[in-house]
Amino acid sequence: MKKTVLRCLTVLVVLLIPVVINVLVSIPVLERCSYPVVGRPIDWLYFWASYLGTIASFVMIFYTAKSLRQNQRQLAEMKRQWNEEHRARLVFSLADKEGDIVLKVSNVGKEAARDVNLKFSEAFIDSLFVQYIRDVYVGLKDKSFTVGAGEDKFFILSSNWGNNGVTQFCLTKEEVRSAEFIEWLNSHRSMPIEFSGSYRSHNEVYSINETLKIEDYFFGSLIVRDDLTNAVIAIRKGLVQGNDQYSTIQKSLDIIAMILKQNQEDRLRHP
């Protein structure tokens, strides 16, 4: 209600200004109170019209410039929101991958993470007793890599508690027994795996500062796996049960074939 009244008063004042000016310039000026006036009253009327018009133009320019600045800020904010929504987002975790405990680097964003650089703490690197694994983590600080949208990359830490036998690393010609991995895992459960770095997305650079612990992802000998890993392991267990046994699927196919053959023989005997 107040805004409507204010608008009506503004329109009324704008309409009355020329009338008031015309009345003022039409009043005869007494000689005692007179002051030098250049031109005729009509000239003064023209002057005031152009003067007010100039002021109105400056006001319009001011509000136009203000509106343009607001539009620029809105466009910049929309661009920032779009970039934030579509940029790469890296998530770091520890996972079990085919019997190895690995550092998992996942890009859950919608764009590729480029120029990914990771630098691990010296305490963590010094704790790694396998030369090959240590070289991998040392080399990461001088290298950069890309993680595509929805892609995962893995860096081995150790074999898990359930592995038996010997793990061979061809490049460094090392052979590590599972007992050594188990000892390392048990003694480094609560050790902070600290690393920092950066990556690039949409010409913006994002920093990385992470601290992971083995005990946050694994509990004793229980391996916490994602759904895909569990599915693959379940399929593998279902397909192969032993060296001298048929696979479960093959057994099912043999049974189906035997039933079909029996039905066919029965139809031949009793047409």
* 84 occurs within a structural domain: no
Looking at the fold, whether 209 and 236 belong to one and the same domain comes out as no
The tokens describing 245, both together, are 């046994």
Q: Could you read off the pLDDT of 24-41 as tens digits, one per residue?
A: 656 655 544 555 555 665
pLDDT for 265: 61
Looking at the fold, whether 135 and 241 belong to one and the same domain comes out as no
- State how far the alpha carbon of 265 is from the alpha carbons of 256, 260, 269, 271, in Å: 14, 9, 6, 10
What stretch of H or E contains 119? strand 113-120
Looking at the fold, whether 165 and 44 belong to one and the same domain comes out as no
* 85 occurs within a structural domain: no
pLDDT for 264: 62
Number of domains in the chain: 3
Looking at the fold, whether 51 and 170 belong to one and the same domain comes out as no
pLDDT for 221: 45
Q: pTM for the whole thing?
A: 0.58
Determine the Cα–Cα distance for residues 73 and 85; give it in Å rounded to an integer: 18
Residues of the chain where predicted confidence (pLDDT) is lower than 50: 31-32, 221-225, 233, 236-248
